[in-house]
């Protein structure tokens, strides 16, 4: 049954904070960093107002934030945090430890360019640097998706046989600081959806003592990595069920990917994050001009939905893949993975790679239109192109 929702005008950061409030985690440890700061600012206000039972741990760095999260999650707590850019980079070491220790922490990321040169605005270099860390990675197009993805993430992370941490990505400033209409679910509905946290092997269960983080050398490390690989496969397997459960109360669809006017499209753009909204706008415009264009939005980047992407793009004439981060000396990450996903399809489309929006450079409808028009006209080129760069 679809729950009665409350329509509010809030930022993406506030949407994250409301999801956190409704999840009511046992422990939140975080350190402020632009553009994540308003997430924690809003959440700690909720905590100060007594709206949550959360133990808020204000630490001295992001390395400590993730360390405190790992400790609390190992103790048996339901744990959430948030960060961005260099904060995530500073956490990097413990980000891997959280995943390999199988601690279902949910972390909001307000994506921001990694220094240097120093920049506080949106791109995906921060989260892309963590793509092999073993975390599930969700990307959001708008504040509504941020809200619902955060709730979904908590249940997904804690699912038996998954037990993996999840990053919920929202574009820094573009989503985190922009006010949009967001429909919030009632508190009790969210509480019921996420359910009670039953920790896997809590340190505080003194009747069943365990050792966390022992030395793991050539005799077992490989086996533990194989278990993480399996956990990601399991995450992919259980996602549709969790998505369906959330759909039942929100009436919205959740999938690894979103196809927008894609089925009969001959030309497509693949992207993720807020740029998907811009591309949808251009798809609508160009459809009005009779052009057969469509969008494939990737919502879940890890586990990477290879089959879904292959099915969705099989038989398209040409596809442009947009990346909001570069891989120096190699192909940009989303392009590289989409290209690899298409290796086995019957009718492989021509692929073009574009990097856009680095360091918060605006991504405009003209950029999406340029990419589409080049595909339609058959203006293909070697290597990667750049949208919005002064050449």
Partner 1 sequence: MAELKTWKEIPIGGLTEAGSSTRFLTGNWRVERPILNTEKCINCLLCWVVCPDMSIVVEDGKVTGMDLDYCKGCGACAAICPVKAITMEPETKFQR
Nearer to partner 1, 77 or 279 (CB): 77
Least CB distance to partner 1 at residue 241 (A): 21
What is the C-alpha to C-alpha distance for residues 78 and 76, in angstroms, rounded to an integer?
7
Nearer to partner 1, 216 or 379 (CB): 216
What is the C-alpha to C-alpha distance for residues 138 and 300, in angstroms, rounded to an integer?
5
Nearer to partner 1, 213 or 365 (CB): 213
* Matching residue, tokens 């002064």: 390
Least CB distance to partner 1 at residue 300 (A): 22
Least CB distance to partner 1 at residue 101 (A): 5
**Which positions ≥6 away from 235 have C-beta within 8 Å?**
136, 156, 159, 162, 164, 303
Would you say 169 and 111 are in contact if contact means Cβ atoms under 8 Å apart? yes
Could you tell me which of 21, 95, 39, 38 has the C-alpha nearest to residue 62? 95
Residue 230, both tokens: 């399996």
Least CB distance to partner 1 at residue 226 (A): 4
DSSP structure string for 75-137: HT--EEEEE-HHHHHHHHHHHHHHHHTT---EEEEEE-PPSSS---S--SHHHHTTTTSS-EE
Nearer to partner 1, 6 or 227 (CB): 227
Least CB distance to partner 1 at residue 224 (A): 5
Nearer to partner 1, 8 or 201 (CB): 201
Least CB distance to partner 1 at residue 166 (A): 16
Nearer to partner 1, 224 or 307 (CB): 224
List interacting residues with partner 1 (CB under 8 A).
100-103, 163, 200-201, 209-214, 216, 219-220, 222-224, 226-227, 230-231
What phi and psi values does residue 83 have, to the nearest 5 degrees?
Answer: -160, -170
Least CB distance to partner 1 at residue 277 (A): 38
Would you say 295 and 283 are in contact if contact means Cβ atoms under 8 Å apart? yes
Nearer to partner 1, 216 or 284 (CB): 216
* Matching residue, tokens 């993430």: 153
CA distances from 118 to 34, 85, 114, 121, 173 (A): 12, 10, 7, 9, 16
């Amino acid at each position: 049954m679809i729950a009665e929702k409350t329509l509010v005008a809030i930022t993406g950061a506030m949407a994250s904070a409301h999801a956190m409030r409704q999840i009511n985690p046992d422990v939140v440890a975080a350190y402020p960093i632009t553009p994540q700061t308003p997430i924690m600012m809003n959440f700690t206000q909720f905590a100060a107002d007594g709206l949550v039972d959360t133990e808020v741990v204000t630490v001295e760095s992001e390395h400590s934030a993730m360390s405190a999260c790992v400790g609390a999650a190992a103790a048996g707590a339901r744990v959430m945090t948030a960060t961005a850019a260099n904060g995530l980079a500073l956490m990097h070491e413990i980000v891997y430890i959280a995943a390999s220790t199988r601690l279902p922490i949910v972390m909001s990321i307000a994506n921001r360019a990694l220094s240097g040169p120093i920049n506080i605005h949106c791109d995906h270099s921060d989260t892309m640097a963590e793509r092999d860390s073993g975390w599930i990675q969700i990307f959001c197009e708008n504040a509504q998706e941020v809200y619902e993805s955060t709730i979904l993430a908590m249940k997904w992370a804690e699912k038996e046989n998954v037990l993996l941490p999840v990053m919920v990505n929202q574009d820094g400033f573009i989503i985190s600081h922009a006010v949009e209409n967001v429909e919030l679910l009632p508190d009790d509905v969210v509480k019921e959806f996420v359910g009670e946290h039953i920790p896997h092997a809590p340190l505080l269960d003194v009747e069943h003592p365990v050792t966390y983080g022992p030395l793991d050398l050539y005799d077992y490390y490989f086996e533990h990595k194989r278990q993480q690989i399996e956990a990601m496969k399991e995450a992919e397997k259980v996602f549709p069920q969790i998505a369906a459960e959330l759909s039942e109360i929100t009436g919205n669809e959740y999938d690894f990917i979103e196809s927008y006017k894609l089925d009969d499209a001959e030309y497509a753009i693949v992207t993720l994050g807020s740029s998907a909204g811009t591309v949808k706008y251009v798809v609508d415009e160009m459809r009005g001009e009779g052009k057969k264009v469509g969008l494939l939005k990737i919502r879940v980047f890890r586990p990477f939905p290879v089959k879904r992407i292959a099915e969705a793009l099989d038989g398209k004439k040409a596809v442009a893949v947009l990346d909001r981060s570069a891989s120096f000396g190699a192909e940009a990450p989303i392009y590289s993975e989409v290209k690899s996903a298409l290796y086995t399809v019957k009718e492989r489309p021509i692929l073009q790679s574009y990097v856009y929006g680095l360091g918060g450079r605006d991504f405009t409808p003209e950029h999406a239109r340029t990419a589409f028009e080049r595909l339609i006209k058959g203006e293909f080129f070697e290597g990667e192109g750049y949208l919005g760069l002064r050449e």
